[in-house]
Copies of this chain bind each other. A is one copy, B any other.
Amino acid sequence: MRQAKNGPTPGESALDRGAGCRQFGVQVLRGQAQVAFLSSVPAGLLFAVALFAAGWEYGLYAIAGTALGTATSRLLGADRERVSTGLEGFNACLTALCFAVFLGAGHLSTALLAAAGCVVVTVVTAAVVNLLGVWNLPSLTLPYCLLASAMTTAAPGFERIWHHGDGLAALTSAATGPTSLGFSDLWHGFFTGFAQIFFMPQWYVGALVLAALLVASRRAAAVAGVGSLVGILSAWALGAPAAQIADGTMGYNAILVMLALCGVFLEAGPRTLGYAVVGAFTATAATSAMAAVFAPSGGHMFTWPFVLTTFAFLAAARSFPELRTSAPSPAAPEPMSAGALSAQPPAPQAP
């Protein structure tokens, strides 16, 4: 039975091989879905559709990246339950996408480097899981943020992989431009926030992402919708330029924070909803800080505001008994209640 852990061995029958392939496919689609804390196969499929709608090369990079990350973690003998619920795939999915967007999807150098990135991010994921285990915190998209930040700051130093001329390092200056929101900005911003989770700027990609959430869990979709609105309202109230709100850059971190703090890592309820709204506001304000911090080295904020805000609010929640109506099991360092959101509940995670 041990062989089953790392996929079919040469001696197995064609039937077993077929089952192994199907199992791997399920793991890859769940890996896609875990970008939004889901381990639902239909949601993973819809996410893939959304990315193919944005551009076939992005769909391909995402699927291939998730597959490569999942395969690497199996090869290295990673925890079986983590692989099975897709937790070993989503950082590779985002890493591959980010390499495609930043370095140009059409270059052979980008494809090779993205493949290397997916292998390395699997190692970094294991490292982050072990390091954060001390605090019983989930790894979220931190592995991807580390890899993506390293890549964007490193790339201009290498001539074979950087095809955009000058580097991106620059000092930020104060925001300018109109801040009043029209209806078009508003609804564009609402949907593009969902698309920006995958780095895409099209509103219809965001609509498909929201549809995937709806398919997997109505509550998750509702919470995410509130997150998108909180992001837009916070950015408007603080005075972000309307163009930044319309293109979704002020919304995706708020969406992810809302999902994490109201339903995934803290039980959904009126108190955690309020707590998550404060978190989503904080992440939106932090967006501008992260942009300023990464700009001088040519980096990008990615999902750093979400990751850092969620770490703070999760670590803090332990001191606030008012939020702990039913605390998540301390043995689960990763989206435990993700199962609750998914159409196909995964096996419980090994401690």
Report, as a range, how many residues of chain A touch the other chain. 35 or more
Q: A154-B285, A157-B292 are in contact. Are A123 and B162 (CB under 8 A)?
A: no
- CB <8 Å contact, B169 and A239: no
Does A53 lie at the interface of the complex (its beta carbon under 8 Å from any beta carbon of B)?
no
Contacts A135-B131, A156-B174, A320-B78 known; A278 to B240 CB distance under 8 Å?
Answer: no
With A135-B131, A297-B293 given, is the CB distance from A158 to B315 under 8 Å? no
Given A150-B286, A167-B172, A296-B296, verify A291-B157 contact (CB < 8 Å): yes
Please determine whether B123 and A316 come into contact, CB atoms closer than 8 angstroms.
yes
Question: Which of A154, A157, A315 has most chain B Cβ within 10 Å?
Answer: A157
Copies of the polypeptide in the assembly: 3
A326 to chain B, nearest CB (A): 15
| 0/1 interface trace, chain A 145-179, chain B, CB 8 Å (1 if under) | 00001110111111111100111011111111001
Chain A contact surface mostly: helix
* Contact present for A130 and B319 (CB under 8 Å): yes
Q: A154-B288, A159-B175, A169-B292 are in contact. List 19 more A-B contacts (CB 8 A).
A: A76-B320, A76-B323, A123-B312, A126-B319, A126-B320, A127-B313, A127-B314, A130-B318, A149-B289, A151-B289, A154-B286, A157-B172, A158-B239, A159-B174, A161-B239, A166-B173, A167-B172, A171-B296, A172-B297
- How far, in angstroms, from A237 to B313 measured CA to CA in the complex? 42
Cα A297 to Cα B169 in complex, Å, equals 12
CB atoms of A316 and B126 under 8 A apart: yes
Q: Which residue of the partner chain, among B124, B149, B153, B240, contacts A288 with CB atoms under 8 Å?
A: B153
Instruction: Report the separation of the CA atoms of residues A287 and B125 in the bound assembly, to the nearest whole angstrom.
Output: 20
Q: Tell me if A322 counts as interface (CB < 8 A to partner B).
A: yes
Complex CA gap A134/B132 in Å reads 11
Q: Report A's interface with B, CB cutoff 8 A.
A: 75-79, 113, 116, 119-120, 123-131, 134-135, 149-151, 153-162, 165-167, 169-176, 179, 235, 237-241, 278, 281-282, 285-289, 291-293, 295-299, 311-323
Of the candidates B153, B179, B237, B317, which one forms a contact with A293 in the assembled complex, judged by CB atoms under 8 Å apart?
B153
- Contact yes or no, B239 A127, CB < 8 A: no
Residues of B within 8 A of A318 (CB): 126, 130
Q: How far is the CA of A319 from the CA of B74 in the complex (A)?
A: 11
Residues of B within 8 A of A312 (CB): 123-124, 127
